[in-house]
Amino acid sequence: MDNARMTSSILFVCLGNICRSPLAEGAFRAEAARRGLDVMVDSAGTGSWHVGRPPDPRAQAEAKRHGVDISGLRARQVTPRDFRRFDRIVALDAQNFADLQAMRPGDGTARLSLLLDHVPGRAGSAVVDPYYGDAAGFGTCWDDVAAGARGLADEIAADGAQPKG
Ligand code: 4NP
């Protein structure tokens, strides 16, 4: 087993950390729990506008529809230190990815990817920002982050992440 490639921590990153990345965090936590994967999960935003706030009420409602409670999450901004703390940093869209690449410190070790790169047939696609749209956009967003969570969990399980014991 290649220990250097094992994943035990993941940070999901979008722009505001109130819609897409908290949903990705919630979907991945649920997926990891179902599979018994022991992975530390967090989310953050590239922007600072919503720091300290809970997820958008529409995101909370969508997660709840799927049995996932994200009400206790609070927005924070991604920092260069996150590139040393997390094994993987997963961006929700290409702009988030580019912003993360630009801030990666020289000693950053995290593997950076786009969430939908982990879904067969959807590499390079964005999870569309639902913030300025209607409630239906949050349903689409959930479907996308849940697919991403399943794909990521498949890869992590194949990499040899330890089941919770
Ligand atoms: P998120 O959505 O990046 O999925 O959390 C957004 C939330 C707020 C803003 C933009 C995107 N905003 O500009 O305030």
What does each C-alpha distance from 43 to 4, 78, 158 come to in angstroms?
A: 23, 8, 23
Q: Answer whether 156 contacts ligand 1 (Cβ < 6 A).
A: no
pLDDT in the model for residue 164: 61
Protein residue with least CA distance to atom 9, ligand 1: 16
Amino acid (one-letter) located at 100: L
Q: Per-residue pLDDT tens, the chain, 165 aa: give them.
A: 444 457 799 999 999 999 999 999 999 999 999 999 999 999 999 999 999 999 999 999 999 999 999 999 999 999 999 999 999 999 999 999 999 999 999 999 999 999 999 999 999 999 999 999 988 999 999 999 999 999 999 999 998 755 565
Ligand 1 geometric centre to CA of 76 (Å): 12
CA distance 98 to 103: 9
Across 149-158, b (16+ Cβ under 10 Å) vs e yields bbbbbeebee
